[in-house]
Every structure is written in C-alpha cells, then in structure tokens.
Amino acid sequence: MKKYELIILASAILFNQIGFAQMHFDKVEVKTTKVAEDLYMLEGEGGNIGVSIGDDGIFLIDDQYAPLTTKILATIRELSDKEIHFAFNTHFHGDHTGGNENLGNIGVDIVAHDNVYNRLKNQNSGGLPIITFNNKLTFHINGMHIRTIHYKNAHTDGDSIVYFDGKNVIHMGDIYNDKNYPYIDLPAKGSFIGIIKAIDDTIANINDETVVMAGHGPIINKNKLVIQVGELKKMYQIMENLIEQNLTLEDVIELSPYKEYDAVWGNGFTNPRTFIETTYKSISISIKNK
Ligand SMILES: [Zn+2]
C-alpha cells in the first residue's frame, strides 16, 4: 500500500474511533441527586461528581470524561450560575479526571494530591492540577470547611476522602466499591490493607446519618461501610493464611478461595481471577513489610 493510502486509512480508523466514542458519550444523561442543602451528586458516566454551591461559588469533586464536560456544565448551570472555583480530584484515574483540561480552560482551579499530579504528568495529561498537597487540605468556602484527607496506599497512592463539615456528607472516591471486588491499582501503588484501613478510619469519623457519596454507584451510609469492610477483612484473612502456608499464586488460583463471593462480587471491573492475583500480590507485600 502506498504511503498516502496508509495515511488515509489510519485517519479513517482514527476518525471512526473518535466518532464512536463521541456517539457513545452523546447518549449519556447526567442525573442530579440532592444529597444535602446546596450539595448535589451528579451521575453520568465515570466517577460520581460532588457539587457544593454557595455564596462563594461552586466547588466540584471529580469531572468524569472530557466529552461529557459540556453536559456536566449544562447540568450545573441548572442548579446555579455562580462561578466554578475549584475541581478536586479524588485520584488520577481517567474516569474522574478526564474533564480537568476542559475545566482548567474555563478558569477552574484543579486541586489534587501530589501523587495525582505526578501520575497525570507522567501520562502527559493536559489537565494537570495547579494546586497540590501532601497530607490534608481544607477549603474554607460556602460557609463550611471542606476537608480532604489523603490515604497513602489504598485504591491508588493518591486517594483522598472529602468531608463537607457542617453538612454531614462525605465523598470517598473509589476507596469504596459498591458490591464489587475492590479495584486495587497495584501499578499505582494501591494496597488491599490500605483500602481496609481507609474504610475503617472513615467509619470512625462518621455517624449513622452521614451521607456517603462513593466513587461509583448510589449514595451509601456508615452501615454499608461496616458490612463491606467486614467482608473485605474476611477475604484478606483467607488470602493471608494461604500465603503464609507458602502457596504459589498458581496454587491459590487452583484453589479459587473466593468462589463463594464470585456470584455477588465478581461482576464488576475486577473479575474473580484478577482479584485473586491482585490480593495475592498486595498481601504478599504487606506480609513482607510487617
Ligand atoms: Zn479509580
């Protein structure tokens, strides 16, 4: 094939892919749920977006995918015409940060943990945070304190949980995964024990009335977290015992130690086989570091 034909073919394939992605996102509807006075959750595709509206302006948590920015902004404009000041990233994954560049271009300040900045920079993302922090950061706006707490190694190494003090609402990012096996992003230094510790810490900081926005899925509460972390601890224990008996990963896969959980937990992003592999590797690291 001649060079120019190749170029035309390559452009056609690229165009089809972009066209397909755009068509797919065109069908997405953005749903608004009021979670407290002047606080909303938006669902479209990708991570749940938190929206605080007040006298000082608008504060966002996460921003889904770039092709959805126009729709997300239109939905926010149905709630308020105040200026959007900040978008806070709970972690670096593209389904939570894909809209960063578009928002940055209209003057929104993107804020995230240092590790989110580094990971987005390494993947040449155009939507880098312009404010970063290393442990805790508090926004004093809209008549409340919006506190963000970093968890070192949980779903990734850059996860934050956001507390809306005075509203009794939090946003957990992907540290909580409704009814699915947790996605432990090992290449991004995620850790199974880190997820358990982060959920335990959150349970200690909230009460029965706290409204909990998860990274994906519906609004949950403290009781859901208690049940979830109980199950995760059982799964952790099962794998820890097998590793301490010096079983190889292949031996463990053969045993399929989580088969009783697969029907309920195994249908999400992390399939049963991947979950065994990541828990085996993650818990092996935790045992070594004991
Ligand atoms: Zn994620």
DSSP 42-77: EESSSSPEEEEEETTEEEEE----GGGHHHHHHHHH
Does 89 have pLDDT greater than 80? yes
Ligand 1 geometric centre to CA of 46 (Å): 9
pLDDT tens digit sequence for 141-188: 999 999 999 999 999 999 999 999 999 999 999 999 887 999 999 999
Question: DSSP assignment, residue 220?
Answer: B
Q: Where are the domains of the chain?
A: 26-223
- Which residues have their alpha-adjacent CB atom under 5 A from ion ligand 1? 93, 174
CA 93 – ligand 1 centroid, Å: 5
| Fold of domain 26-223 | Metallo-beta-lactamase; Chain A (3.60.15)
Say what angle helices 272-288 and 222-244 make with each other, to 10 degrees.
70
Q: Give the distance (Å) from ligand 1 centre to CA of residue 97.
A: 10
When pLDDT is cut at 50, 70 and 90, the band that residue 290 belongs to is confident
Distance separating alpha carbons of residues 29 and 7, to the nearest angstrom: 35
Residues paired with 109 in a beta bridge:
86
Q: How far is the CA of 121 from the centre of ligand 1 (A)?
A: 17
Structure tokens at 50: 């938190």
Q: What percent of the chain has pLDDT over 70?
A: 93
pLDDT of residue 18: 59
User: For 253-284, what is each residue's pLDDT tens digit?
Assistant: 999 999 999 999 999 889 999 999 999 999 99
Ligand 1 center to residue 174 CA distance, Å?
5
**What is the pLDDT averaged over residues 180-201?**
97
Whole-number Å distance, alpha carbon 137 to ligand 1 midpoint, is: 20
Query: pLDDT band at 1, cuts 50/70/90?
Result: very low
The model scores a pTM over 0.75: yes
CA of 86 to the centre of ligand 1 (A): 20
Find the 189 Cα to ligand 1 centroid distance in Å: 12
Ligand 1 center to 199 CA (angstroms): 15
Alpha helices in the chain, H assignment, sequence order = 3-26, 69-79, 94-97, 100-105, 114-122, 192-205, 222-244, 249-255, 259-265, 272-288
First to last CA, the chain: 59
Strand, coil or helix: 99: coil
CA 277 – ligand 1 centroid, Å? 18
pLDDT of residue 15: 53
**Quick one: pLDDT at residue 154?**
98
Side by side, the strands of the sheet bearing 84-88 are 31-36, 39-43, 49-54, 57-61, 84-88, 109-113, 131-133
Distance 288 CA to ligand 1 centre (A): 26
Type of residue found at 10: A
**What's the gap in Å between 267 CA and the centre of ligand 1?**
16
